[in-house]
Amino acid sequence: MAPQVDVDLIARAEAWLADDPDPASRAELRAVIDGLPATAAELFDRFAGPLTFGTAGLRGRLRAGPNGMNLAVVTRAAAGLVGWLAASGGEGPLVIGYDARHGSKEFAERTARVATGAGREALLLPGPLPTPVLAYAVRALGAVAGVMVTASHNPPQDNGYKVYLGAALGGPAGDGAQIVPPADAGIEAAIRAVGRVASVPLGGPGTLLGAEVAQGYVRSAAAVLDPSGPRDLTIAYTPMHGVGGSTLAEAFVAAGFPAPAIVAAQAEPDPEFPTVAFPNPEEPGAMDRLLALAGEHGADLAIANDPDADRCAVAIPGPDGWRPLRGDELGVLLADHLIRRGTPGLYATTIVSSSMLGRLCAARGVPYAETLTGFKWIVRAAEDLAFGYEEALGYCVAPALVRDKDGITAALTVAELAAGLKAEGRTLAGRLDELARELGLHATDQLSVRVDDLAEIGVAMGRARRNPPATLLGAPVTETTDLLPENDVLTFRTATTRVVIRPSGTEPKLKAYLEVVVEGDPATARTRAAADLKLLRAEIAATLGV
């Protein structure tokens, strides 16, 4: 039986429709209203509440109504942002970038017109470009803030709106970084204060930048590497239907590497992402075409970016075929490489990433820190940050260049590492084994549960809080940490096991991050760890009731 729609909801929907500047979304919402009562659930969902600034700014489905990404929502977001910038005393231009998703260019252009309508200079990147290029541009152009229109690795029906701050409002450690509290709450309040969309003044299109910003990023990215290092490496690559392809290829050539072989079916931007179920290298099957290409070319390394190229996935060849590295494995490999290269500063990761980086830093005598989940926290761990990573394939290898995760400089750096090892007759797999012998094998896995109803996440978290596990893998839980009310994160530890449970900040998922530490011969330890992780997954699933 369809839910009853009250007169107030219909009135709100009609008012929204009358104020919507986009004919296509007006027609879409009109069809929903006219379809009542059969479309009642759909109307309720569209007006359940406005999108709010979360881990990555705004992100949601492309659809009409306040609970979706559309021109009306973007106009209000842009007006709130430029109003907050003015109230905060921030001076300088707003730089705007966008990816190749549905609506991205239109949302970016509308943001520029809202900014100029408010008297703020707007600088628009010249086409669909990676998120790291926008983050770079905020610093390089001395912008007061930056907007990147992207939903990163979300499904094709989504889009999003990331906000970055320049040095004037973000401070030295946050120059070119994503917003954090209280800026997010301040911007959200400013958005709520915006009146009718029709009342938002629109100015000119702003300044369309030329190719020089992207070219500057490519030159700077290539300069992150040691120019005298080996470059003999065969690489297979996919941008996964995203915007990273040409920028990464140019950066590799500029750094002296041969151009990578690219998966032809995924080489050009396509907002439908037709060859993958989800455009996320972490998802099963997403890298199948890449690994097939790597095998055909006898590649040394296979690299994937997600669609906005802020993440980097790597796979390596082995006796049983190609194996994708876990984010924690690549994070430790990159940190070890930078430490051995003498890169000074603090090395940071998050509370859900492997504890191996902390052990590595302690062994090498370099500063280390853990932060809350999200790169907005990692890059603010210290002004002299040397390297930061999160297990979800995000790496910051050059904080002075991009104060955010950057899948292109990460790809360059892992290629530098692999080429150097190859010149010595060694491999990335061998280096992982060397580190495991020294520091213990730190094996990680995830229990990830996608939900249709976000309330299911709260139910599962409540169940774990009421009945926490007394043991994990037969060993007593020696430490339980609950970060409520500030953060919805639960952690359980034994002497050799750690579990961190939290809702995803960007997707309708509940995630449990699992880690076991096993000493001894890496091959034997890996076998034992795989069995332990399988048991641990089952124990945590039972705890959560999923």
Supply the residues annotated as catalytic. 152
Q: Which two tokens stand for residue 408?
A: 């292109």
Alpha helix ranges (H) inside 47-195: 71-87, 104-117, 131-140, 167-170, 183-192
Q: Give the separation between CA 285 and CA 291, rounded to whole angstroms.
A: 10
188: Cα separation from own chain's centroid: 21
**Beta pairing class for 368-371 and 346-350:** parallel
CB 28 within 8 A of CB 39: no
Q: In the 8-state DSSP scheme, what is residue 256?
A: T
**If DSSP codes are grouped into helix, strand and coil, which group holds residue 314?**
strand
Q: Decide: 200 and 79 in contact? Cβ < 8 Å.
A: yes
Cα 255 from Cα 501, distance rounded (Å): 40
Six-digit token string for 124: 């628009």
Instruction: Name the residue with tokens 């709130």.
Output: 80
Which residues make Cβ contacts (< 8 Å) with residue 456, sequence separation at least 6?
510
> Quick one: which of 59, 96, 61 has its CA closest to 81?
96
Handedness of CA 391, 395, 400, 404 (dihedral sign): negative
CA distance 372 to 232: 38
φ/ψ of 402, rounded to 5, equals -135, 120
